[in-house]
Amino acid sequence: MLSYQHAYHAGNNADLHKHALLCTVLQILTRKDRPLTYMETHAGKGVYDLFSTEALKTGEAAEGWLALSEAERVALPAGYIETVKKMNSGATSPLYPGSPLLAAHILRAQDKLRLMELHPQEYAGLEKIFTDDKRVQIHKRDGLEGVLSLSPPESRRGLVLIDPSYEVKEDYEAIPAFMEKLVRKWPEACVLTWIPMLPAGRHEGMLENLKKTFPALRVFKAEWAKPGQGMYGSIMVGINLPHGV
């Protein structure tokens, strides 16, 4: 579906969770000199204004990024806070980076980014940001199909971020199946998958499915949760993550 726009949710607690882990993994992967390829299935537009009409309508950023103290922000992975301050000329708002911009900041000249985005407005935003970055290729295509088509990359080392909106309930079944195909085709890939925790409880079945799909692999799981209605938490599942995460 193309109705979802992340501007309403940028900088919320789920973003903090996802982006902190993403930056941690990328910083560990880039300790080795060999080049790597970063791919995303649902890249978004890359930059979000936390004081925009969309963000203010939900108030999620006010409970997430904007609620953090300076000490809490400093405790985040270096690449995370550095990206935010670079965007805001040393400040920490109003602009907030999506995962493509965080990855681009941490990755090096020898690395590559392959970003999938089907939504016309989000795609246009990505193109504008990365016009002069020769490391980046942006594909206006289905994210799961696109990543599979481009895998494995020439470098073989790399990370894939899977981050759909889950507006379509079939995603809970499609993502484990996609991950199985991806790891079979690109065994060296590190894979990070974001999963929302919603009252319907579909994440529980998805986690069980992932356990059955990858019984022989080390599966990393991190979650946060708080009481409330709607999305009350999120889970990050990692496959083949580097030592030290």
**Where do the domains of the chain lie, and which CATH numbers do they carry?**
6-239 (3.40.50.150)
Record the tokens describing residue 39, joined without a space: 């791919």
DSSP one-letter string for 47-104: EEETTSHHHHHH-HHHHTGGG--HHHHHTS-HHHHHHHHHHTTTS--SEEE-HHHHHH
DSSP one-letter string for 186-223: -TT-EEEEEEEE-TT-HHHHHHHHHHHH-TTS-EEEEE
The single-letter code of the amino acid at 69 is S
Catalytic residue list: 163
The single-letter code of the amino acid at 54 is E
How would you classify the pairing of strands 112-116 and 37-40? parallel
Instruction: Tell me the chain's radius of gyration from C-alpha atoms.
Output: 17
What integer pLDDT is reported at residue 98 of this predicted model? 97
Under 8 Å between Cβ of 111 and 31: no
CA–CA gap between residue 115 and residue 39 (Å, rounded): 6
Q: Would you call 48 exposed, middle or buried from its count of C-beta atoms within 10 A (0-12, 13-18, 19+)?
A: buried
What integer pLDDT is reported at residue 20 of this predicted model? 96
What integer pLDDT is reported at residue 228 of this predicted model? 77
CA–CA gap between residue 106 and residue 119 (Å, rounded): 25
CA–CA gap between residue 70 and residue 142 (Å, rounded): 38
Give me the residues paired with residue 225 across strands.
233
pTM: 0.95
With a cut of 50, list the residues of the chain below it in pLDDT: none
Question: Edge-to-edge strands of the sheet including 136-139?
Answer: 136-139, 112-116, 37-40, 158-162, 190-197, 233-239, 219-225
What integer pLDDT is reported at residue 215 of this predicted model? 85
What integer pLDDT is reported at residue 4 of this predicted model? 79
